[in-house]
Amino acid sequence: MKLTIKDKEFLEKLKTALEDKELSIELKFDGASRLVLRKNYGDRIEKDFQMTRQGVRWRFQRLFNEIYVSAYETIYWIESQFGTALRKDALMIAKEQIKERKNLQKSYFPACCRRQSNN
């Protein structure tokens, strides 16, 4: 599953909140292991993310416990069937595709219209 623009914006905001120690991510064990977002209370979170706290929790759940874990399940299954010999090549292809996507964004959007990103 591909990330949407809203997902990417959410992840950028989440990264900042984690670096500022406003939020944290923890592994929770209660029958089924999962990642949980901690300290997601207060009006500041709603203002920073421009969504309700429930919306922040929902998007976190979807991204980290559905998409992210599912990607590793897929990798695990493929590598258990075919080994890890292709991993290096797959990572190289993924990096090339990301680089090409960024180059297309730069050529499509003038510099004045792009948001600054550390990626």
pLDDT digits (tens, 9 = 90+) for 80-99: 999 999 999 999 999 999 89
Residue 15 vs residue 108, higher pLDDT: 15
Tens-digit pLDDT profile for residues 41-74 = 777 888 889 998 899 999 999 999 999 999 999 9
Helix extents (H) in the chain: 5-19, 43-49, 53-60, 69-82, 87-108
Q: How far is CA 11 from CA 5, 31, 44, 55, 97, in A?
A: 10, 27, 17, 13, 19
Q: Are residues 77 and 88 in the same domain?
A: no
Q: Say if CB 55 and CB 19 are below 8 A apart.
A: no
Read off the tokens for 34: 């999962």
Q: Are residues 32 and 67 in the same domain?
A: yes
How does residue 107 score in pLDDT terms, banded at 50, 70 and 90?
confident
pTM of the predicted model as reported, rounded to 2 decimal places: 0.76
Tally of structural domains, the chain: 2
Q: Are residues 78 and 100 in the same domain?
A: no
Q: Are residues 76 and 18 in the same domain?
A: yes
Q: Are residues 78 and 89 in the same domain?
A: no
- Range(s) of the domain holding residue 12: 1-83
Q: How far is CA 12 from CA 7, 15, 53, 82, in A?
A: 9, 5, 17, 34
Burial of 62 (0-12, 13-18, 19+ CB in 10 A): middle
Tens-digit pLDDT profile for residues 12-49 = 999 999 998 889 999 999 888 999 999 877 778 888 89
Q: Are residues 78 and 23 in the same domain?
A: yes
